[in-house]
Structure 1
Amino acid sequence: MKKIFGFGRKRKEQPVSGSASLPGVPGGGYELRDKDLGKLHRAAAGGDLGKLQQLLKKQEINQLDKANRTPLHLACANGCTEIVTYLVDNKCKLNLCDNDNRSPLMKAIQCQQEICAIYLLEHGADPNLVDVNSNTALHLAVCNPNISLAVQLLEHDADVDAQNQEGYTPLFLAITENNQEMVDFFLKKGASVHARDKSKRTPLMISVSGGEFNLIKILLRYGADVSHKDENGWTAEDYALISGYAR
């Protein structure tokens, strides 16, 4: 360390890891067991529209199961577009949240069910709700390598600079996914290149830590500040050196 920083500067603590993974998002869909589901939720999850219509003659359209999921949650997670369309057209509530505080829209995004997500957005689903880890639908969209879901969310007023509980904006997460198209798209849409996470790290520091030179070039093109210091006093250059990317 002293050999690397032979400039008479005081030795600093090692920086926080450069990763910015999405907390609380191990996968997409729900783990469903028949014994945990009532008939209405089972019909929604299985895409059985006839059965659903029959059951709704006596049951409430926004009925919750043990995990606080509505039929719309399950239909969205499984991409049952017919069910989603029917439920929405029959005025089900769009923004109820399950035990992870995720709305049907968030489940559609998380499970990459684009048709379901677009239908919900077009009918007024809120794109800026946050889950238990303060992730928004746009944070979840970053897990999809295709930017189409992110495009749809921003067209419906999603907050491009929303921060989750770690302080990560969607831009941070796009950088950790090494998704250059999405990084460039977010910046074009006004995402802050100067955003800071809870450790006061910037998107540039995250990209430097991973040695992602193309991402670094994009961030610098949008005016990333190379002199900014994190909570330990480290700059982007320090992150590059400690990560073994001297050049």
Structure 2
Amino acid sequence: MKKLLGFGGSNMSPGIHEIHEASRMGDLEKLQKLIKKGKNINKRDQSNRTPLHWAVFQGHEDLVKALLDAGANTNLCNQNNNMPLHMAASWGRVSCLKLLVEHGADINAPGKYNNTALHWAALTNRVECMEVLIKHNAVVDALNVDNNVPLHWAAFKGNLECLELLLTAKADYMRPNNDKNLPIHVAAFKGHKDCVLALLKNEMDVNCPGEKDSTPLHFAAMNGNQETTKALIEKGANVHVLNVSDNAPLHMAASAGFVDCLQVLLDAGADVNARGQNGNTALHWASLGDHMTCVSLLLRAEANAAIKNKDESTAHDLAISKHNSACAQMLALSVDEASSSGLRDQYDATLSKVEDLFADLGLPTISSQQTALTVVTPDPASKDSSAAFTVSSPAGVDMEEFEDPSDQPDMERD
């Protein structure tokens, strides 16, 4: 960071001042001399950062106190609209956070993407910071630019202790974001089973609809979260429920190639031949995605390969149209077709050989842990039989962006 920011001796970059360097380096003696000389304690550097931003970021409690005692403004924003308070909450500088709050920092001030300090603490799992903020009346249901509350962030990152702390503080677990998703949809999509179960303790509906009327089970299945899928079913999740595109969780798992979730759903009584979007069955979706292990599992579960969708296409037709030759070969010898032509033994032998080949090549078979493949995501309104699902990450676009740590308040970037 020294090289990046140009600190050090006489080689300081333009816009970096002595008072910023002292604050960054933790040089209390130098800072006190500069303050005594009447230097501007709210001086901005090239990125609009003040000495207080630097002292807080580095966790220099004594320098933070010196700056605050000298009258430093706690609520000045850097170029990315983050205040020292956001820095403290994000990086877990508890003592600095307390000092800022005691000196009048706006505890609910919005920063980058309108996230408050409580949002940042929930995102980065800073439990002690959250406790301080909540104790000083931080708004637990503050909304950011995507209408995500701190509870969405805790659920998104699987920060269970933060999530439970927010629930204890009466956070609204039924608050939808811009995509109509509740924190439980976010937790289910990310596979944070413990967070899902903690939210369900509040007697909420396990089948509550979110984006495109998808339930938590849809989100868990579409992202291959086997344990979360199982936990939701044990809590009464409906395996047959359809979203606005007429797809059930089974269709989501088949489309994405998540064979373990597929098995869990089938074991729970999901209808293997249920029709979804455009009349496609799970077998259609698995064939479209060239998910051999899913096709194999579905056929063993007595999926009917002769079913046609609204375009009069069978799963075999779709496999051919996508040049998925292995799936097409397997479907050509499906149980239903083989039975009528006296080829059942040949089908079983072929299926066995295919799975042996998968094992030899080190590829996942039906008993594999998780086969995480790409989800096709065209328009749900499309009647194209190749169209799968457009339900995105339930957290919304900006939430996915926040997985990149470059979006955390950071002195190298802000």
Report the TM-score when normalising by structure 1: 0.81
- Judge which range, 136-145 or 118-127, deviates more: 136-145
Q: 2:137 aligns with which of 157, 172, 196?
A: 157
Work out the CA distance in 1 between the residues paired with 2:191 and 2:23: 45
Work out the CA distance in 2 between the residues paired with 1:177 and 1:142: 8
Q: 2:169 aligns with which of 183, 189, 195?
A: 189
Work out the CA distance in 2 between the residues paired with 1:243 and 1:67: 39
Q: 2:183 aligns with which of 203, 215, 226?
A: 203
The correspondence of residues 133-144 of structure 1 with structure 2, limited to 5 A, is 133-144=113-124
- Judge which range, 103-112 or 69-78, deviates more: 103-112
Determine the structure 1 residue equivalent to 2:97: 117
Contact kept, 8 Å, 2:185 with 2:216, in 1: the verdict is yes
- Judge which range, 211-220 or 190-199, deviates more: 211-220
Work out the CA distance in 2 between the residues paired with 1:116 and 1:143: 19
Determine the structure 2 residue equivalent to 1:212: 192
What SS is found at the alignment partner of 2:213? coil
Contact kept, 8 Å, 1:194 with 1:225, in 2: the verdict is no
Q: Is residue 86 from structure 1 mapped to residue 66 from structure 2 by the alignment?
A: yes
Structure 1 residues 173-231: Cα deviation after superposition (integer angstroms, max 9, x where no partner): 11122122211111110111101111001111122223333222211111323343234
Work out the CA distance in 1 between the residues paired with 2:21 and 2:190: 44
Q: 2:17 aligns with which of 28, 38, 59?
A: 38
Contact kept, 8 Å, 2:89 with 2:126, in 1: the verdict is no
Determine the structure 2 residue equivalent to 1:101: 81
> What is the Cα deviation at residue 132 of structure 1?
2.8
Determine the structure 2 residue equivalent to 1:229: 209
Q: Structure with the greater relative contact order (CA < 8 A, sep ≥ 6): 1 or 2?
A: 1
Alignment size in residue pairs:
217
What SS is found at the alignment partner of 2:115? coil
Structure number with higher helix proportion: 2
Report the CA distance shift for 1:132/1:210 in structure 2 as closer, same or farther (over 3 A): closer
Work out the CA distance in 2 between the residues paired with 1:132 and 1:212: 26
- Judge which range, 113-122 or 137-146, deviates more: 137-146
Q: Is residue 52 from structure 1 mapped to residue 31 from structure 2 by the alignment?
A: yes
> What is the Cα deviation at residue 82 of structure 1?
1.2
The correspondence of residues 58-77 of structure 1 with structure 2, limited to 5 A, is 58-77=38-57
What SS is found at the alignment partner of 1:157? coil
Structure 1 residues 78-110: Cα deviation after superposition (integer angstroms, max 9, x where no partner): 111111111111121111111111111111222
What SS is found at the alignment partner of 1:133? helix
Contact kept, 8 Å, 1:101 with 1:132, in 2: the verdict is yes
What SS is found at the alignment partner of 2:56? helix
Structure whose CA Rg is larger:
2
Determine the structure 1 residue equivalent to 2:251: none
AA in 2 matched with 1:32 = L
Structure 1 residues 25-72: Cα deviation after superposition (integer angstroms, max 9, x where no partner): xxxxxx632223111111111111221122221321211111111111
Work out the CA distance in 2 between the residues paired with 1:124 and 1:216: 36
Report the CA distance shift for 1:98/1:145 in structure 2 as closer, same or farther (over 3 A): same
> What is the Cα deviation at residue 146 of structure 1?
4.4
> What is the Cα deviation at residue 143 of structure 1?
3.7
Work out the CA distance in 2 between the residues paired with 1:51 and 1:141: 32
Contact kept, 8 Å, 2:53 with 2:83, in 1: the verdict is yes
AA in 2 matched with 1:51 = K
Contact kept, 8 Å, 1:77 with 1:107, in 2: the verdict is yes
Q: Is residue 131 from structure 1 mapped to residue 101 from structure 2 by the alignment?
A: no
Contact kept, 8 Å, 2:93 with 2:129, in 1: the verdict is no
Report the TM-score when normalising by structure 2: 0.50
Work out the CA distance in 1 between the residues paired with 2:102 and 2:203: 35
Q: Is residue 178 from structure 1 mapped to residue 151 from structure 2 by the alignment?
A: no
Any unmatched runs of 5+ in structure 1? 1-30
